[in-house]
Copies of this chain bind each other. A is one copy, B any other.
């Protein structure tokens, strides 16, 4: 295990040295209402007035380097994190050192909601590439929510979405075979890429075969073999982490075999 993954990134807002050199530092105040991710992220579903109310939210932007942790399992829960750029994995660590990946988070998605239950983070979040996040103080968010029922609804809805997401994952883990699992995974990534304005058919996976395997409940060798099988079936073209879906219908079919 790398030492980097054991170390939590500093809490304060720190534009990295190289960022200072080749670009203007990020503005001190970032507003939800002008954020390019506002249709995916926290403000999603809010009307004009409420989005402006969200602008009252003071939060820090932080850069997280690849391999660094945003938070660790067991750490005190204080912030909800919104991914601005980059990709994260959430995972639990088992007693014997193995990990179960519980999710991958992309731009506009939230991290840390599982910490509310006990006041401690129930999982760890690791950056899979250099990333940037907004750290929203939970207490402050709830304060703001008490002034707007719509904002309360949005927060509840986001948490419910997480529950629904995990339901489908349980279905996947509980009753699908290797090909169905990987097809479901790739179709999910594809949709999320599309929602972010990227190509739905060609993308770069940020996670390793082992991480995909942990997420899907299979060994890395099985993930690799299933990628190869999809290539032979002419559903994909794979070059390491670069994936091109050549037959979306075929993938859908592999997935649709069992799922609604």
Contact = CB atoms under 8 A, between A and B. Distances in A.
A217 B169 CA distance: 12
Contacts of A258: 94-96, 98
A146 B152 CA distance: 8
Contact of A94 (B92, B122, B167, B175): B175
A99 to B, nearest CB: 9
A51 to B, nearest CB: 19
A199 interface: no
A34 interface: no
Contacts of A102: 167, 170-171
Contacts of A173: 170, 173-174, 217
Nearest to A116: B160
Contacts of A161: 117
A150 to B, nearest CB: 10
A86 interface: no
Given A259-B94, A260-B94, A163 B114 contact: yes
A203 to B, nearest CB: 24
Interface residues of A, number: 50
A164 interface: yes
A117 to B, nearest CB: 4
Given A95-B256, A167-B122, A142 B152 contact: yes
Given A117-B163, A260-B93, A98 B175 contact: yes
A123 interface: yes
A147 to B, nearest CB: 9
Interface in A4-20: none
Contact of A167 (B98, B114, B167, B171): B114
A167 B259 CA distance: 21
Interface string A133-174: 000000000110110010011011101111110111111011
A207 interface: no
Contacts of A257: 96
Interface of A: 92-96, 98, 100, 102, 113-118, 122-123, 142-143, 145-146, 149, 152-153, 155-157, 159-164, 166-171, 173-175, 214-217, 256-260
